[in-house]
Amino acid sequence: MALKIRKNKSPEPPYGCPLTECMSVLGGAWTPNVIWSLSAGPRRFSELRIDIPGVSPKVLTTRLRDLEARGILHRDVKPTSPPSVEYSLTAHGMKLVPAIEAIVSVGHELKKAGKPTPKRRTSRRLAKSV
């Protein structure tokens, strides 16, 4: 016997859903890490690479350009020799920090609960070829 589809009781999202808009910003790879690093103040590219050890220069450059285009961060070129560039959060970017802090808080609680994260499984064919 087929189960009936239940009606969703959550409120209808408004046109141009703000949740979708916010998650489109935060959903990019390394984006929360970039915002987190900039929350303490302006950083240069090399400092961000140190703050976020796993990110490649290409991906970091892509994230910074995307966040600048969305108005989340500001790129300031300093008139030095050689030129220096500093990145800082805009007012919109600073509004995202509490959301990231809430996610971090839940992450700490999950860690304390002791639930191990599932390990990625590799297929036998892949394991044999390695």
DSSP for residue 130: -
- Is the entire prediction scored with pTM above 0.85? no
- The backbone torsions φ and ψ at residue 90, rounded to the nearest 5 degrees and listed phi first, read -85, 180
The pLDDT, as a whole number, for residue 109 is 92
pLDDT at 123 over 60: no
pLDDT tens per residue across span 71-121: 999 999 999 888 899 999 999 999 999 999 999 899 899 999 886 666 666
CA distances from 120 to 3, 52, 71 (A): 32, 23, 36
pLDDT at 16 over 80: no
Cβ neighbour number for residue 123 with a 10 Å cutoff: 8
- Name the architecture of domain 18-108: Orthogonal Bundle (1.10)
